[in-house]
Structure 1
Amino acid sequence: MNIVVTGASKGLGLAIADKFADDRQGHTLLLCARNEQRLHLATTYMQARYPRARILARACDMSKKEAVLQFADWILHKVDKTDIVVNNAGQFVPGSVHNEPDGALEQMINTNLYSAYHLTRALLPGMMAAKEGHIFNMCSIASLQAYPNGGAYSISKFALMGFSKNLREELKQYNIKVTAVYPGATMTDSWSGSGVDPQRIMKVSDVANMIYTASFLSPQACVEEILLRPQLGDL
Structure 2
Amino acid sequence: MNTDQNSKVVLITGGSSGLGKSIGTYLTEKDYIVYGTSRNPSKFKEFKPFELLQLDVADKQSIQSAVETIHNKHGRLDVLINNAGAGITGPIEEIPEEEIIKNFTTNYFGAIQVTKAVLPGMREQNSGLVINVTSIAGYMGLPFRGIYSASKAALESTTEAWRMELKDFNIKMTSVAPGAFATNIAAGRFHAPVIEGSPYEEKYGMTLESINEDVDSGKDPLDLAKKIHNVIQTPNPKVHYRVGAFMQKFSVVLKRFLPGKVYEKILMNHYKL
**Higher-Rg member (1/2):** 2
Partner amino acid, structure 2, of 1:98:
E
Query: Which residue of structure 2 aligns with residue 201 of structure 1?
Result: 218
Trace 1:122-133 onto structure 2 (pairs within 5 A): 122-133=117-128
Trace 1:190-229 onto structure 2 (pairs within 5 A): 190-191=185-186, 194-196=212-214, 198=216, 200-217=217-234, 219=235, 221-229=236-244
Change (3 A) 1:32 1:100: same
SS across alignment from 2:175:
strand
Q: How many residue pairs get matched? A: 220
In the alignment, structure 1 segments of 5+ residues that lack a partner are: 47-54
Query: Which residue of structure 1 aligns with residue 19 of structure 2?
Result: 12
Is the CA contact 1:100–1:151 (under 8 Å) kept in the aligned structure 2? Answer: no
Is the CA contact 1:9–1:38 (under 8 Å) kept in the aligned structure 2? Answer: no
Trace 1:1-235 onto structure 2 (pairs within 5 A): 1-23=8-30, 26-42=31-47, 44=48, 46=49, 55-191=50-186, 194-196=212-214, 198=216, 200-217=217-234, 219=235, 221-233=236-248
TM-score by length of 1: 0.85
Q: Distance in 2 between matches of 1:187 and 1:111?
A: 21
Q: Is the helix fraction higher in 1 or 2? A: 2
Deviations 1:117-152 (A, max 9, x none): 111111111111222111100111121111011132
TM-score by length of 2: 0.74
Q: CA deviation at 1:63?
A: 2.7
Q: CA RMSD in A?
A: 2.1
SS across alignment from 2:46:
helix
SS across alignment from 1:7:
coil
- Identity rate, percent: 27
Q: CA deviation at 1:197?
A: 8.1
Change (3 A) 1:230 1:35: farther
In the alignment, structure 2 segments of 5+ residues that lack a partner are: 1-7, 188-208, 252-269
Q: CA deviation at 1:6?
A: 0.8
Question: Which stretches of structure 1, 4 residues or longer, exceed 4 Å deviation after superposition?
Answer: 195-198
